[in-house]
Structure 1
Amino acid sequence: MFGEFLKRLTAPAPAPLTDTDARLALGALLVRVARSDNNYDAREVAKIDQILSNRYDLTEAEARELRKQCEVLETEAPDTVRFTRAIKDAVPHENRVAVVESLWEVALTDGMRDENEDAVLRLVSDLLGVNDMDRAKARQRVDNR
């Protein structure tokens, strides 16, 4: 279903993401983090819908539909390393820090820090070019909400 999108995203020199492609990429990454602890629950689904709705000014129904597409994309996407590096090449740095903050929102939705989620977040942050300090600050901003 997303073969052409993934082909463009993982090309040797990907073009900057269109708005639609950026939405899909972020959403799929949010889903990947949420699924990383093998407990993809209703709270995480709701948090992803909320993030997508707020970030892209979508209605609840539009955010829900986008998330469903992202769930399918996440299962079809290549390994986390290739997928995240492709996003890094197509998204400006300041937006990547915001992506990490959104990932923390999903990971911390259940009120617990899971070692699998932490590991995926560390990997994704590094691959996005977001350093340890910025990743920690992003988590603190989420904790303080």
Structure 2
Amino acid sequence: MFKDLLTRLMGDAPGPDPFGAEDAELAIAALLVRVARADDHYDDAERARIDQVLACRRGLTPHEAAERRAEAEAMEAEASDTVRFTRQIKDRIALEDRQGVLAAMWEVAFADDTRGADEDSLIRLVSGLLGITDRDSALIRRQVMVQMGLPPA
């Protein structure tokens, strides 16, 4: 019993998988919600951008994307850390697609026309956890800014 407790505390035992083996997409949605909430101002523009990203990634209808976002909002609110989301993504999604996840996070961060330090910090953390270098993250950020018609930072 003591060994079980130590194993769980030290992180060697796998915890329950809240996503199911096949659904890294829900982890992506939860990360998008997390970055939108990072600045403590989660607005309609960010929700709309999340829905748009989810619809484009999986060919969802607007209603299905909103349902997926609502599910991700609940999951994100319950999760104490970001690692559980990034681990799910890193284990199941190729590097090129993970770069797309990072681009989507930047899109959501810029959706409210402000770029906050909390959002930057979270995206930098996620970038590292997904195996994306700071340099590549900066390039992705710049590409997103150009695509969104934002002035370079």
- For the criterion TM > 0.5, the same-fold answer is yes
What is the TM-score when the length of structure 1 is the normalising length? 0.85
Off by >6 Å, runs of 4+ in structure 1: none
What is the TM-score when the length of structure 2 is the normalising length? 0.80
Distance (whole Å) between structure 1 residues aligned to residue 79 and residue 95 of structure 2:
22
| Structure 1: stretches of 5+ with no match in the other structure | 1-5
Deviations 1:21-75 (A, max 9, x none): 1221110010001101000000000000000011111111111111101101111
Alpha-carbon RMSD:
1.8
Q: RCO greater where, 1 or 2, for CA within 8 Å and sep 6 or more?
A: 1
1:44-123 paired onto structure 2 within 5 Å: 44-123=46-125
CA contact (8 A) 1:25 1:87 kept: yes
Distance (whole Å) between structure 1 residues aligned to residue 89 and residue 120 of structure 2:
19
Identity %: 49
Stretch of structure 1 that moved more, 96-105 or 77-86: 77-86
Stretch of structure 1 that moved more, 70-79 or 43-52: 70-79
SS in 2 for 1:7: coil
> Would you say how many aligned residue pairs link Structure 1 and Structure 2?
133
Give the structure with higher Rg (CA): 2
| Structure 2: stretches of 5+ with no match in the other structure | 1-14, 148-153
The partner residue of 1:127 within 120, 125, 129 is 129
